[in-house]
Amino acid sequence: MTMTLETKTPPIYETRVPILPLDLAPVEDVKVNRSAVERRAATLNTRRTVKKEWQAAWLLQSIRVIDLTTLSGDDTPGTVRRLCAKARQPLRSDLLAKLGLSQPLTTGAVCVYHEMVSTAVEALQGSNIPVAAVSTGFPAGLNPFKQKIEEIEASVKAGASEIDIVISRQHVLTQNWRALYDEVKAFREACGPAHMKSILAVGELGTLKNVMRASYVCMQAGSDFIKTSTGKEPTNATLPVSLVMARAIRDYYEQTGYKVGFKPAGGIRTAKQALDWLILMKEELGEAWMQPNLFRIGASALLNDIERQLEHFAYGRYASMQYQALG
């Protein structure tokens, strides 16, 4: 049994989403039918299922799009190095051989606080795995603006090639779209060559309509990705809110021709959930958005469950969690 992973899209960082002038027309025209969104989200994993070798292939693909994350107050250089080793080799050698995987497999990126960027860069040297840094006063985003810019610049200087910024939720809640646009645009300019993911913190935006409006503004301001959550809010990534953001990305692509990436984060812990979000990408945006340059899953514990499911596929049994490598 030999498994291959399709990579039809351009490599990561080949193109950038440009900064466009603020256009409030699509923002003000937003209409969201919450009941319809929830019905559609509820049927996503019932309309399409993947089984056996197809499920294994999709799970392998989900590993390729994971931003393997550690954002804890007790992070140490040792914790980060161990996480980077897991990113370099997310599956055990014997399992890779059993699956007959014919090409190298790594995670999409490693995501850390600024303090750990240099450690991660050093640990990943030679692997081509990007280091993503959370920034701009993550998770609350309430630091002074000057400090937010300085934090982005410091992380880029330390070697981060992706910056996950958090927006000021007050701009969305007060409908101050110009302030949101100016803020995100300034963040994008500070990122320089590093790709920027804009975290909307959807659990704190109040309505799905606000989520879609904020998505449009962040994309116009040059966000390479829009991301659901910090993972620190009471409500993080859900399928209904992800569907709304995916529709915003689709509309933006149809209007401008620019492809913006999507990253759900927070609470995605099981292989089944990873498949749900891949199905969402396949159904709403197409195969291009199933690749690492346009789709990431922010997670820490997810990889262990995926490995258990792949072991069951390969050997017909589940391994105890004590046999899974620590992330």
Handedness of CA 267, 270, 272, 274 (dihedral sign): positive
Query: What are the residue boundaries of the structural domains of the chain, listed by start?
Result: 24-319
* Fold (topology level) of 24-319: TIM Barrel (3.20.20)
pLDDT in tens, 94-135: 999 999 887 889 999 999 999 999 999 999 999 999 999 999
Q: Which residues are annotated as catalytic?
A: 164, 227, 263
Other CB atoms within 10 A of residue 34 CB = 12
Q: What is the DSSP letter of 318?
A: P
Query: Is the distance from CB of 140 to CB of 172 less than 8 angstroms?
Result: no
Q: Comparing C-alpha atoms, which of 316, 315, 297 is closest to residue 90?
A: 297
What is the tens place of the pLDDT at every residue in 264-296? 999 999 999 999 999 999 999 999 999 999 999
3-state secondary structure of 299: strand
Question: Which of the 8 DSSP states describes residue 223?
Answer: -
Task: Round to the nearest angstrom and report the end-to-end CA distance of the chain.
Answer: 28
Which two tokens mark 66? 């994971």
Q: What is the mean pLDDT of each run of 10 residues along the chain (327 residues)?
A: 48 75 96 96 83 92 97 96 96 91 91 98 97 97 97 98 98 98 98 97 97 98 98 93 98 96 96 96 96 96 94 84 58
Q: DSSP secondary-structure letter at 297?
A: E
pTM passes above 0.85: yes
